[in-house]
Structures are given as C-alpha cells and as structure tokens.
Amino acid sequence: MFTLPSMWNLIISTIMFFIAAWYFHLYLDKQGIPKGMTRGLLVFVLASAVSWGAGEAVDWTQEKIEGPQAAKQDSVDLSQLLKATGQPQQ
C-alpha cells in the first residue's frame, strides 16, 4: 500500500543522501577512480539507494510506534458511499 511519506522520512532520507554521496565520493577518490559521468552516476545511484533504505527504515519504525495508518478516502468514494447508504450529500 502506498502512503505519502512522513516529514521525518523526508528529512532523514535527504540528510542520508548527502552523507552517502559525500562518503562514496571520498571512497572512490581513495580508490583512485577518475572523476567522470560514470562515477557521478554510480555515486548518485548508491546514495539514492542508501537514502531510500533510510526512508523505509523511518517508515517502518514509525509504523511500529504508531501502528498502521488508516487509508484515506477520496471524495468520489465518499459520495458513492453516501449514495449507497441513502444519506443526503452536502
């Protein structure tokens, strides 16, 4: 089930992206790999994976603490529900 990310997810994953990108740049510099588009793409993909993993960990932790979140209903679903139950629509 897809839910919108929480504010903590956004903050932690953004911070982790920049930390991971810095670390991977530093590691590749020490390994002597020359700078270029391929290296930049590799750093981006690896930092994105770390960022995504951190965001998933935040969501998992938040769900364990608060419990599963109820799914939101669209206004279309609500109007159909009101029609089905015979309630007047607003």
Q: What is the pLDDT of residue 1?
A: 42
Give 19-50 pLDDT, tens digit per residue. Answer: 999 999 999 999 999 999 999 999 999 999 99
> Quick check: 69 pLDDT over 90?
no
> Domain segments of the chain: what residues?
7-85
Confidence grade of residue 59 (pLDDT, cut at 50, 70, 90):
confident
Q: Which amino acid type is present at position 77?
A: D
**Neighbouring residues of 27: CB distance < 8 A, sequence distance ≥ 6:** none
10's tokens: 């956004």
> Quick check: 76 pLDDT over 80?
no
